[in-house]
Amino acid sequence: MIIENLNFNCIIETLQMTNVLFNLRGELSVEREKILANIASYKALPPLERLRFRLNRYLSDGYLDFVKRWGKFDSQLSQLIEEVKEGLEKESPDAETKTEQAIFAIKSKGIP
């Protein structure tokens, strides 16, 4: 809604690591449609695919690398991540809860 309703040109920057959908920097007048298309694509995904997308964002785009570099990746977090992957693969009824727990656990390790 914010992106749709801003009525002035500005530089928009979405480079914070916890921004799940996109990382970009540019003029809103140039990037608006790209941002809205990214949001629409994400919203069109089936629920389990959204969960997989979000989890993979935390596992593959540097978040987990930071946790490991800071020495905060432990067996408990590793086990939780594996349980979540398995739950998503099996389409477990608690997949959403477990995915949220894993993402929170990763973020709580101190990701900027």
Summarised one tens digit per residue, pLDDT across range 57-87 is: 889 877 898 899 999 999 999 999 999 999 9
- pLDDT(15) > 70: no
Are 106 and 67 within 8 A, CB to CB?
A: yes
What is the radius of gyration, based on Cα positions, of the chain?
A: 16
Closest among 21, 66, 11, 28 to 44, alpha carbons compared: 21
Are 64 and 84 within 8 A, CB to CB?
A: no
Token reading at 81: 């991540």
The angle subtended at Cα 85 by Cα 79 and Cα 90, nearest 5°, is 125
What is the pLDDT averaged over residues 6-20? 79
- pLDDT(20) > 80: no
pLDDT at 17: 66
Are 102 and 80 within 8 A, CB to CB?
A: yes
pLDDT at 96: 94
pLDDT at 72: 92
User: Please, which pLDDT band fits residue 26 given cuts at 50, 70 and 90?
Assistant: confident
Domain extent listing, the chain: 2-43, 46-107
